[in-house]
Structure 1
Amino acid sequence: MNRVAVLSAGSWGTTMAMVMADAGNDVTLHARRPEIADAINTVHRNPVYLPDIALPAALRATTDPREALDSADHVVVSIPAQTLRTNLTAWAPSIPTTAMVVSLMKGIETHSGLRMSEVITEVTGIPAERVAVISGPNLAREIAARQPAASVIACTDETAAETLQDACLTPYFRPYTATDVTGCELGGAVKNVIALAVGLATGMGLGDNAKSLLITRGLAETARLGERLGADPLTFSGLSGVGDLHATCASPLSRNRTFGEHLGRGMTVAQATSATRQTAEGVKSCRAILDLARRNDVEMPITEVVAAVIDGQITVQDAASQLMSRTPKPERYGI
């Protein structure tokens, strides 16, 4: 039996803690708020993020990260991407030296342009072969309801990825393995920005043709950036590419799509933030992704207009006009 620490108790972290407990692991979930930890331990529910989901009785919670990390074989991290460095700096001394660290986060660090696995290795000194990412169409509420789902576990060490695969395989959650960490992380980060764009189109009342255009061209610009950074192009046709992109752009459960819809209906960024309540990673990461693309001379027009809308540089209406007035190009330009 593996000892698993999950940091922390938002909807996705709680869901993965449930998955790994259902898979037969000894799981401790770190919750910042005592009332959440108490509820998980006593009534086996997360009253804030998944109030209607019955959690395994064996799943334990604590407000002490050191207690959660004690003797852990796997350390699963699920916090907002832009808070990773600060939190990980505090947690790093308590991470067991032999543990595998698993990122559930889908973002790019704003000031450095680093992917989440890169932040983990930089802050902790843990080698890349002991850092994995889980990515794919991961709408937490559906998985928490134990509906069928699949994901990719990516690690440069294939054996380590297979070990983690065994640790989260359940009748409803099917993980596949891969070694393309770069491609999986880029697919997970950029799809949030494209989902914002699809949400904008939805909020503006645009039709399915426009949304399909954004999804397919969004996948193209993700692949362009991935190719430049050394990712395997086939990754973007898989679960962590088109699979995650479709789920995030199509589902009303998607925070990023919902945030975009609020903007498309006339809300300000501040109003949309308040209405969405949970973190929409694309809002924080869009500028970092655009900066990364520009440093690598990669054209990402959808990401560019989304970043401009979030920064208040252009209106929602201007965004649509800018995209539709671009110079015509071959479909596969830059790839």
Structure 2
Amino acid sequence: MTGADKIAVLGAGSWGTTFAKVMADTGREITLWARRRDVAEEIAETRCNGAYLPGVRLPDSLRSTSDPRLALDGAGTVVLAVPSQTLRHNLTAWRGLLHPDATLVSLAKGVELGTLKRMSEVVVDVTGVPEDHVAVVSGPNLAKEIAEEQPTATVIACRDHDRAVALQQACTTGYFRPYTITDVIGCELGGAGKNVIALSCGMADGLGFGANTLATLMTRGLAEIGRLGAALGADPMTFAGLAGLGDLVASCSSPLSRNRTFGARLGRGETMAQAQAAVGGQVAEGVKSCSSIRELAVRHGVEMPITEVVHRVCHDGFDLHEMAGQLIGRKTKPER
């Protein structure tokens, strides 16, 4: 990838649109693909994406289209900004349009249901590209704050350090600072796991619990994500950084987090359908990923008690009020 290469961002939700804005602000040639034609036309005509990023003006240089062929034509970097559980389906339709040496960048934070594959593994599985052609972006990535150009940092993980650095250069702005690592496994597990823990923090908040409970859930949640990471070969230090602790704190504490908001609605007694409506119909990734992460943990013999409770509440019909104590209630033992 070179700095002059065209970049395609596939997915015009809040995070995809924001990431496209970040890269356009560096002067790169960016084309944003939207599934809905009306969204692509609105961006082209008004420089706004009112459905997903209201109140934010997008750069004049940012192009938009609903035709994936136009978006991918000549793209040396392809940013995949669709929900984790739809990535395989979408990528299957796009793979014939990809340049063979393109860097494929996943923004999705999840573990695929059924296969239990991380997003980079899904990309390799569908496209057949080498693992070192795939990068992932994770960290405290609350789209609205970044789109408003509030200072933040993130992590770009890729086995090929040179590709990570090239992508780093393509998205470094005065308000967005990316760091690079080669630990793709840890970066992805941190991003997927924090969604589940954010759900638990939202549930606790909705139940009326305070800061001590939330701090406990975040800390013990990070511990169980770290245990799974260790079992899968991640670098433990990744979870102490932006892709671990940083992303976890942002998602567990901010009302802008869809997962936290979803969990809070459940904690206040709303149904799954009511909670979904409250997040504007957008995807709270942790609702589905809690099941695949739970299965992945079982497969590797890893205890993840908070993830287990979240799964039972979201998918087995367990009453949250009855299970509230189990969010943090385990037998006493040494912390390590």
TM-score by length of 2: 0.97
- Per-residue deviation, residues 65-93 of structure 1 (Å, max 9, x unmatched): 11100000110001111011111000000
Q: Which residue of 2 aligns with 1:318?
A: 322
Q: Is the 8 Å Cα contact of residues 134 and 158 (structure 2) preserved in structure 1?
A: yes
Q: Which residue of 1 aligns with 2:200?
A: 197
Residue among 12, 15, 25 paired with 1:12: 15
Q: Is the 8 Å Cα contact of residues 110 and 289 (structure 2) preserved in structure 1?
A: yes
Which sits farther off after the overlay, 316-325 or 202-211? 316-325
Which sits farther off after the overlay, 253-262 or 321-330? 321-330
The separation in 1 between residues aligned to 2:305 and 2:322, in whole angstroms, is 13
Q: Which residue of 2 aligns with 1:330?
A: 334
Residue 271 of structure 1: how far off its partner (Å) = 1.6
Residue among 295, 298, 320 paired with 2:299: 295
Task: Map 1:1-335 to 2 at 5 A.
Answer: 1-276=4-279, 277-332=281-336
Q: Is the 8 Å Cα contact of residues 40 and 64 (structure 2) preserved in structure 1?
A: yes
Distance 1:18 1:300, change over 3 A: same
Residue 254 of structure 1: how far off its partner (Å) = 0.1
Residue 98 of structure 1: how far off its partner (Å) = 1.4
- Per-residue deviation, residues 146-196 of structure 1 (Å, max 9, x unmatched): 111110000001111001101111111000000000000000000000000
Structure 1 segments unaligned to the other structure (5+ residues)? none
SS of the residue corresponding to residue 153 of structure 1 reads strand
SS of the residue corresponding to residue 196 of structure 1 reads helix
The separation in 2 between residues aligned to 1:214 and 1:241, in whole angstroms, is 14
The separation in 2 between residues aligned to 1:273 and 1:93, in whole angstroms, is 34
Question: Alignment RMSD, CA only?
Answer: 0.8
Residue 324 of structure 1: how far off its partner (Å) = 4.4
The separation in 1 between residues aligned to 2:58 and 2:274, in whole angstroms, is 33
Q: Is the 8 Å Cα contact of residues 236 and 242 (structure 1) preserved in structure 2?
A: yes
1:44 alignment partner AA = R
The separation in 2 between residues aligned to 1:35 and 1:160, in whole angstroms, is 34
Q: Is the 8 Å Cα contact of residues 2 and 167 (structure 1) preserved in structure 2?
A: no
The separation in 2 between residues aligned to 1:107 and 1:265, in whole angstroms, is 26
Q: Is the 8 Å Cα contact of residues 109 and 119 (structure 2) preserved in structure 1?
A: yes
2:125 alignment partner AA = E
Distance 1:120 1:324, change over 3 A: closer
SS of the residue corresponding to residue 73 of structure 1 reads strand
Q: Is the 8 Å Cα contact of residues 263 and 269 (structure 1) preserved in structure 2?
A: yes
SS of the residue corresponding to residue 202 of structure 2 reads helix
TM-score by length of 1: 0.98
The separation in 2 between residues aligned to 1:273 and 1:305, in whole angstroms, is 19
Residue 319 of structure 1: how far off its partner (Å) = 2.2
The separation in 2 between residues aligned to 1:318 and 1:151, in whole angstroms, is 37
Which sits farther off after the overlay, 262-271 or 291-300? 262-271
The separation in 1 between residues aligned to 2:322 and 2:90, in whole angstroms, is 38
SS of the residue corresponding to residue 252 of structure 1 reads coil
Residue 325 of structure 1: how far off its partner (Å) = 3.8
Residue 35 of structure 1: how far off its partner (Å) = 1.6
